[in-house]
Amino acid sequence: MEHSLQLYELAGRDRVLRFSPFCWRTRFAVAHKGLSLRTIPILFSEKEKIAPYHSDRVPVLLDRGHVIPDSWRIAEYLEKTYPDRPSLFHGDVGRGSSCFIGHWTDTSLHPLILRSVISDIYDALDDRDREYFRKSREARFGCPLEQLFSEAGEAQAALSKILAPIRATLQQQEFLSGSEPAYPDFIVCAAFQWIRIVRKGELLAIGDPILAWREKIVTRYMSTANVHDA
Amino acid sequence: MEHSLQLYELAGRDRVLRFSPFCWRTRFAVAHKGLSLRTIPILFSEKEKIAPYHSDRVPVLLDRGHVIPDSWRIAEYLEKTYPDRPSLFHGDVGRGSSCFIGHWTDTSLHPLILRSVISDIYDALDDRDREYFRKSREARFGCPLEQLFSEAGEAQAALSKILAPIRATLQQQEFLSGSEPAYPDFIVCAAFQWIRIVRKGELLAIGDPILAWREKIVTRYMSTANVHDA
């Protein structure tokens, strides 16, 4: 039987809730490569579990003795280590552009998603993680969590606006990467998985092309049973 | 002697001022392909000159009887017609990502650049174009041009913030496309050429990595004498 890669990833109060967008990038990438994955859920407050791997953040990927932290380094590792499997980047420009799209997602998309669904995220967390989350996010945004909760509506309006280039691209081609999905899709779709998993209802309006695109990717990669808890 | 492509492009009061970011995408793409270009300057108020080509916008490219409007269609045309020359996209994912980066530039970057340097643009225009520019931009933004002039400082602050993913990418790799420039660089660099050409001073701070990147691209592609007025 083929070996499984192992992924340390963030989980919520209900261990089934795996909402980290960075971990989703890795999940999609591993599935795209047709590899199987065993996941090891950890809480924010269980960072000692990944300390032996010299990382204080998930994702951390283990592959036959190799330890790879950081979603971008993992993507590069997978592309280099499994060149005969479907490509994540399809060459230098796809890889370079993915780097830009990743930074756009990190700096523009993620902060607005976080602010849009922050009360849902807080609700999804294990009790032991709430104090950490409150402290770190209050420091990052410079205001109490309750103020962020009350401003979620404004964040959602701003979020909808910055999604314009995603919608325009999906009107022109089926995926962000062109006619087939690749790493640019995984980066952005991972951000929408974050919303999907912590929130009960959809944030985007019915008929938004982003929803249909997200479902196509999730169906394609997550319907196969390549992911198991370790 | 090799044939020249012809490009209708927007010009300012001084016909040497070619500031359209969409035309710059084409200029860079043609130079990257190593083709020579003759440019035909037109004003906003001279659209009758491109009407025979069934377009009301520049760029319009002419190549041995072919008429290609729209910078994106031009890039696709060049890639398809000159496959043996340096590639603009390096494959499907590079092309698909370029589509997204183009839409991000159109919807996020361009509006903030326009608002940041709007008085410089207005000053650069031919007298005959000013009324058109005033009317169309006042309709687009829903306020008098003078209000936009007075808000340029705020636009510049917002612009600097949304440049974060460009700066982060350039810290990680030499070009937005990776180790060598390709169409994603041309899309974004074209937007900075818009600023560079209408404005006397730099908008970005000395030492901003975007300036060094822009100069590398301009030096690489515009130092060759492949562009002439028709």
Of the candidates B22, B94, B158, the residue with the CA atom closest to the CA atom of residue A173: B94
Find the helix or strand (DSSP H, E) in which A60 lies: strand A60-63
C-alpha distances (whole Å) from B27 to each of A28, B20, B39, B205 are 37, 10, 9, 26
Instruction: Tell me if chain A has a CB within 8 Å of the CB of B162.
Output: yes
What's the confidence (pLDDT) of residue B148?
97
Q: Which residues make beta-bridge pairs with B60?
A: B8, B69
Strand, coil or helix: what is B167? helix
Find the helix or strand (DSSP H, E) in which B35 lies: none
Asked if A198 and A117 count as a contact pair (C-beta separation under 8 A), the reply is: yes
What's the confidence (pLDDT) of residue B227?
76
Chain-centroid distance of CA B35 in Å reads 18
Checking B45-52 for CB contacts under 8 A at 24+ apart, the result is B45/B126, B45/B128, B45/B129, B45/B132, B49/B8, B50/B8
Which one-letter DSSP state was computed for residue B57? S
Q: Which of residues 86-105 of A touch B (CB under 8 A)?
A: 87, 89-101, 103-104
ipTM of this model?
A: 0.95
Which one-letter DSSP state was computed for residue B37? E
Chains A–B, number of C-beta pairs less than 8 Å apart: 132
Angle at A83 between CA A80 and CA A87, to 5 degrees: 100
- For B96, the closest of A99, A108, A173 (CB atoms) is A173
Residues with Cβ within 8 Å of B150's Cβ and at least 6 positions away in sequence, in order, are none
What's the confidence (pLDDT) of residue A165?
98
Q: Which residues make beta-bridge pairs with A41?
A: A9
Q: What are the pLDDT digits (tens) for B22-45?
A: 999 999 999 999 999 999 999 999
Which whole number is the average pLDDT over B55-82? Answer: 97
**Which residues in chain A touch residue B165, judged by CB atoms under 8 angstroms apart?**
100, 103-104, 106-108
Instruction: Tell me if chain A has a CB within 8 Å of the CB of B139.
Output: no
- Quote the pTM value: 0.96
Average pLDDT, chain B: 95
Residues with Cβ within 8 Å of B191's Cβ and at least 6 positions away in sequence, in order, are B21, B105, B109, B110, B113
Low-confidence ranges of chain A (pLDDT < 70): 1, 224-225, 230
Q: What are the pLDDT digits (tens) for A15-34?
A: 999 999 999 999 999 999 99
**Residue B186 pLDDT > 90, yes or no?**
yes
Structure tokens at B56: 């009301």
Closest-approach residue (CA) in chain A for B177: A96
Is the Cβ pair B179, A96 closer than 8 Å? yes
Rg of chain A, C-alpha, whole Å: 17
Rg of chain B, C-alpha, whole Å: 17
Asked if B177 and A93 count as a contact pair (C-beta separation under 8 A), the reply is: yes
